[in-house]
Structure 1
Amino acid sequence: MWLLDELEKRKNCEDIAIYHREVKLSFKDLWRKSESLAVWMESVLKTKRPVVIYGNKDVEILIAMVAALKTGRAYVPLDITFPLRRVKEIIKETEAEVIFNYTCEDIVDIVSINKNKLESIFIEKQGRNIDKLVSVKEDENCYILFTSGSTGKPKGVQITKKNIMNFVNWFSKICVLPSNKQIVLNQVSYSFDVSVIAIYIYLAMGKTLYSIDKLMMDNLKELFEYLKESNIAAWVSTPTFLEICSFDEKFDCQMLKELELIILAGEILSKRLVESIKDKFPNIKIINGYGPTEGTVLLSACEITQEMLNDIKCLPIGKILADGKYRILKDGKEVKEGECGELVVVSDSISNGYFNNKEQTEKAFFNDESGRRGYYTGDIVFEENGLLYYVTRKDTQIKLNGFRVELTDISNNLNKIDNVSNSTVIPVYKEGRVSYLVAFVMLKEQKNLSEMKQGIEIKKELRKLIPSYMVPRKVVIVEQFPMNTNGKVDKKKLEEEYLK
């Protein structure tokens, strides 16, 4: 099942493809407008470099994505939480010729297409069709997602048509909806790969994407009124977003009467959350998925059963995808069942590597003896009775609200702030997953301000450098860092002194 093929079958269909607030876009208009935009791209853009898309949940974003695929160009989705400085870094890195900009920010030194210009293109190129031969090929990139990098510079994960097809062919059999169930939640940011489930599986199946933007997520009253009218049958999100909704007593099967499937990914899933949801939705099916961006959304998944909830262990992350081969390694040797080690996966879902970053690609990826792509996930897991269980990260990378974050990325950017001499960032865990971040900061000179005011100043400066979801909730000013016997910052001592 390939997205463009399925959309072409519905090119005359008046059913709604995507819905955002009061704006509706039919499959017919999605096809027609993406054709016009693709024709414009081919006539104006001189190279096949990636196109950048900057926004949140506007329906025009989907049009730009489909148009890019039709012309054989990868798209790079950037969320509105990305600060302008990082957006410009990514534009420079990709050497993009155009940005589709659905924000209030001004982007200079590049062709910038806003909604008004887009409408002009639709009118100007109306009725013209793009040659299907130029659409994205199996080994070409469909999208590039920029994730947090340990050097402070974001890494661009390249995902090809082959990668997506492999994921879709596996996961579409797991997340099946009855033909009479039509509406799917489209909440996950397009810059986060879990959003691929809604676009490349459910949209391709002819389902309607019901979009929730960031403003709605910040206003539960508005969100619930919007959801109540939705008839959503499938819910796709991180555990954190579902948990926030579940705290409200109004969030139940009376509010979402059609809901029958919940897909959760991007973070550790707690038993308490599953039990809470099953109380509110007695007949619900819950799928827990696991996978790094480098593995195209998910590398393993399973339905959560009552037996799993009754088990003393944490919830499993499931079984590796159909074509996947995997090993669990400790010090280069395979471990026995029940023992912990790093998960290493070989699959057609594994990315070719990082965009313009040969050094990092060679560290994380490899080809096995048959030439298939493999990836060192950096995730510590164990296996029992054919199921994998997530334990922790091997390095400083964590998942926060579904987003992958390198703690050293935050530290490196903190250290760019004028009065900061050194810093370290510590995650605070609650029920097995990261609840928030705390930054410990050494200053070059003390100001005549309270610690709280200095912390506010530091966070204000940090927001200019990194996305808001990466900014620590709390800033603690310290005179010096305690060191361990290895000469490294003793993070355990910091936690004991300041966080207990």
Structure 2
Amino acid sequence: MRILSLASEIAHAIQRHAKSDAVVSKDGTINYFQLKYLSICFQEFAQQQGLSSNDVIAYCGSNSRDRLAFFLGGLLGAYIPALLPISSGSPFLDTFLFSIDAKMLISEVTEASSIPQWTPTDAKRSSSGTMIVQDRSVSHISFTSGTLGHPRIIHVSADAVLEFCDWFCHYIPLSSNDRWAEPGNITSDLAITNTILRFFCGAAFIDVSTEDFPRLSSHFAENRVSIVRSTPRAAEILLASNRRRQLKTTALRLIGFGGDQLTSNTVFRMMNELSGDITFINTYGKAEIAGILSIYCWERGAKFAQYDGCVSVGQFVPGVEAESGVSFCDSSELVVQSRRNAILIKNLLSGEIIQTERKTKSAMATGDLVRKYDEFLYVVGRVDREVTRHGYQVNLDKLGTIVSELLKERSAAVLIKERLILLVEAPPDVDVKTILSSMMPYYLVPDKVIFEKQLPVNRSGKIDINQCKIIAESAI
């Protein structure tokens, strides 16, 4: 069995691959801006050390909250027991390592002499991803969110994140026996909280690339995936691949969604067409919050909360306080007051620190419109997607969701030069305007319908409204 200091081993791989995208500070703190480089570095390290998903890796350190070892185990799929802090000279250590048949013992970060320095200019070259900072004096985790083209860096208390992870892992529950798959881009906004969660509990990370999408259910079955963090689009792909191959994904026990406007139709189809005792969760959160804000959980076959064709995001998790902001008809902007809020929000392009004007420094206007119905929370859309049409207030996000539920096809609504344009994934021979005219009030009927084989999506797997606007502008 080998005993290694993980930081010094990984630092050499980082120097070879990362350049400005994954960097390490001069005090030995590791900062990861692009998770793909993290994966490359750990995989190379594992190959050099002859490690595989069948190995047991032990972790020993004086700081029980140092989760660096879990990154390695998560990416390898190796089992890492959650050890109590044990010093390397402990008389119990050898007995413990022998009892679990450990192939490797990883000590805490001890060497930093060969690690390159980190400068702010390096950080500005990255637009999205996750940076993990473990500073011995001021511990925080920094997230960057750049899916919508406005990259920001957000510093959040590491204690708050770890407290949330501990609560969430017990709520679900999650463990190191789980195998976690996440269709989509590993550096997307969707991965921000999920990455911390899965590495916190030591769950194995099962890679899912775009090449795996046509055979998604097979990929999950072959890799014994137990947890899937998904978007509605990825769920549709899973259903399509499952129908073609008729495979039983018996290991799958949890499917989680990230607060998108998840339609009831998608959930009904998943409950009917997927096998096994599956639990579903739908959550709502922001990159500026250390963890999710609300969560809704239901079992396969059970009745679930829905309103206007959408599934609820449930109720607020413990420790989250919120209030209603500016009202828009039957919905209002959600304003969060929580100790889990970001310390500050910084625009990476201008370096400007955005200060809140509210009395409570931790208050943050989310920009999301929500509605409460039967004590459950529903995300309606974005504040900046609220428009006036024929004297009525219309939320374009909500309209797109309603149309998607009516047509059983994905759609998006945009307003171009005062004209309501609907983009829909449907055959051109479908008379969408006539169908909608018979089912919706006149002010919701689009002026023009554009048929697309597939609507553009961003890195989080959500419909890319900016790209939809470009398509609509070119069509009128």
TM-score by length of 2: 0.56
Q: Say if 2:279 is the partner of 1:292.
A: no
The root-mean-square deviation of aligned C-alpha atoms, in Å, is 4.9
Q: Distance in 2 between matches of 1:57 and 1:35?
A: 12
How far apart are 1:431 and its partner, in Å? 4.2
Match for 1:165: what amino acid? L
> Displacement, 1:183?
1.2
Cross-structure match for 1:460:
none
Q: Which residue matches 1:176?
A: 173
Structure 1 residue 277 corresponds to structure 2 residue 270? yes
Matched to 2:290, the amino acid is: T
| Pairs within 5 Å for 1:249-328 | 249-250=242-243, 254-281=247-274, 283-304=277-298, 306-308=302-304, 314-328=310-324
Match of 1:95 among 121, 129, 133: 121
Structure 1 CA distance, aligned partners of 2:330 and 2:23?
57
Closer, same or farther: CA 51–198 of 1 in aligned 2, 3 Å: closer
The correspondence for 1:158, drawn from 155, 159, 170, is 155
What CA deviation, in whole Å up to 9, does each residue of 1:374-397 have, x standing for no partner?
A: 211111212244321222211249
Amino acid corresponding to residue 159 of structure 1 in structure 2? V
Matched, 1:135 2:115: no
State the distance in 2 between where 1:43 and 1:268 align: 36
What is the identity, as a one-letter code, of the residue corresponding to 2:143? I
Letter of the structure 1 residue corresponding to residue 206 of structure 2: Y
Shift of 1:178: 6.6
Aligned with 2:188 (options 177, 188, 192): 192
Specify whether residues 138 and 278 from structure 1 end up closer, same or farther in structure 2 by C-alpha distance, changes over 3 A only: farther
CA–CA separation in structure 1 for the residues paired with 2:150 and 2:296: 34
Equivalent pair of 1:289/1:298 in contact (CA under 8 Å): yes
Map 1:452-467 → 2, pairs under 5 A = none
Please report how far the alpha carbon of residue 12 of structure 1 lies from its aligned counterpart in structure 2 after TM superposition. Answer: 7.5
Opposite residue 240 of structure 2, the aligned amino acid is F
- Rounded Cα–Cα distance in structure 1 between residues aligned with 2:123 and 2:281: 40
Determine if contact 1:145/1:192 at 8 Å carries over to the other structure.
no
Checking the alignment, whether the CA contact within 8 Å between 1:429 and 1:435 is kept in structure 2 is yes
Structure 2 counterpart of 1:124: none
Give 1:257's aligned amino acid.
Answer: T
Report how far residue 475 of structure 1 moved: 2.4
State the SS of the aligned residue for 1:202: helix
Partner of 2:143: 144
1:394 to 1:143, Cα distance in 2 relative to 1, 3 A:
same
Taking the TM superposition and a 5 Å limit, the aligned residue runs for 1:54-453 are 54=34, 56=36, 59-60=39-40, 94-96=120-122, 135-137=134-136, 139-147=138-146, 153-177=150-174, 181-217=177-213, 220-221=214-215, 223-250=216-243, 254-281=247-274, 283-304=277-298, 306-308=302-304, 314-330=310-326, 340-356=331-347, 361-363=354-356, 366=358, 368=360, 373-396=362-385, 429-431=400-402, 435-436=411-412
Q: 2-side partners of 1:39 and 1:192: how far apart?
A: 23
Question: SS where residue 471 of structure 1 aligns?
Answer: helix
Shift of 1:278: 0.7
- Cα distance in 2 between the residues matched to 1:147 and 1:206: 27
Matched-pair identity in %: 16
- Would you say how many aligned residue pairs link Structure 1 and Structure 2? 335
- Mapped to 2, the partners of 1:270 and 1:43 lie a distance apart of 40
Distance (Å, rounded) in 1 between the aligned partners of 2:137 and 2:264: 39
3-state SS of paired residue (1:212): coil
Mapped partners of 1:396, 1:273: distance in 2: 24
